[in-house]
Amino acid sequence: MSYVGEKVQSIAFSEAEKKRLSEALRTPNSLQEQVFREKATGISDPRFWRSEQKRFLVTGFRDGNVKAREFVLKRAIEAIRREPDPWRVPIWGIYRQCVYRYMTEDLVALNQLLLREVFEDSNGTLSEQIVRCVKKALPIYSVAPEDATQLYELWGLNLTPSQHFSLTPSGNLN
């Protein structure tokens, strides 16, 4: 038995989703950029920061020092804005952690759904199956449809434009 949240976390971001998310990260005040800026420095795992400090060449600080976190974040954002192919900037470990923190701290009802709802195998891709499970469980956990839509906006769910994450009363994937 697995839960919807475990399936969401298992998704590897496709190149297309990295492109979509990196373009949003380049946009000041987009949801993705706000979550990245606001949640990154709150990640408190020194081993995580050790690798990110090495990746973004931040030296002279203990692993996870607050100033080091700020420098990593600054360099990551600069790299995203500077690169012609921003999806190639190695920010996805930080980004995933930021979204995880946002879900747990700010979208509590959605987080409870992801943690408690049992994943039901069905037809379609893993992303399509996740969307169906989330839609079905929205009323049980009193999740606002806007909050569930943020899951798609923030996470690399690999949906094609014709399968965008819309929350219709019928519960069908639209």
Measure the N-to-C terminal CA separation of the chain; round to a whole number of Å: 27
Q: Is residue 48 in a domain?
A: yes
Q: Is residue 106 in a domain?
A: yes
| DSSP tally for the chain: helices H, then strands E | 9, 0
Q: Is residue 43 in a domain?
A: yes
Q: Flag whether pLDDT at 46 surpasses 50.
A: yes
Q: Give the confidence band of 159 by pLDDT, cuts at 50, 70, 90.
A: confident
pLDDT recorded at residue 171: 45
Query: 167 or 70: which carries more pLDDT confidence?
Result: 70
pLDDT recorded at residue 166: 59
Which structure tokens are listed for 94?
């930080």
DSSP state of 162: G
Query: What value does the mean pLDDT take over residues 136-143?
Result: 96
Q: Flag whether pLDDT at 151 surpasses 80.
A: yes
Give tens-digit pLDDT for 1-38.
999 999 999 999 999 999 999 999 999 999 999 999 99
**Contacts of range 158-162, beta carbons closer than 8 Å, 24 or more positions apart:** 158/11, 158/13, 158/14, 158/16, 158/17, 158/125, 158/126, 158/127, 159/127, 159/128, 159/131
The C-alpha atoms of residue 6 and residue 51 are separated, in whole angstroms, by 24
Q: Is residue 169 in a domain?
A: no
Give the structural domain span for 94: 4-163
Q: Is residue 168 in a domain?
A: no
Which structure tokens are listed for 101?
């923190």
Domain count, the chain: 1
Average pLDDT of the chain? Answer: 90
At what angle are helices 66-82 and 31-40 packed, to 10 degrees? Answer: 160
pLDDT recorded at residue 160: 61
Give tens-digit pLDDT for 93-130.
999 999 999 999 999 999 999 999 999 999 989 999 99
b vs e for 143-160, b when ≥16 Cβ sit within 10 Å of the residue's Cβ?
A: beeebbbbbbbbbbbbbe
- pTM here is 0.88
Q: Flag whether pLDDT at 173 surpasses 60.
A: no
Nearest CA among 134, 95, 131 for reference residue 112? 134
Give tens-digit pLDDT for 64-91.
999 999 999 999 999 999 998 988 899 9
b vs e for 21-54, b when ≥16 Cβ sit within 10 Å of the residue's Cβ?
A: bbebbbeeeeebbebbbebbbebeeeeebeebbe
Q: Is residue 170 in a domain?
A: no
8 A C-beta contact, residue 114 and residue 103: yes
Query: How deeply is 59 buried, as exposed, middle or buried, from its count of CB atoms within 10 A (0-12, 13-18, 19+)?
Result: exposed
Q: Is residue 131 in a domain?
A: yes
Q: Is residue 83 in a domain?
A: yes
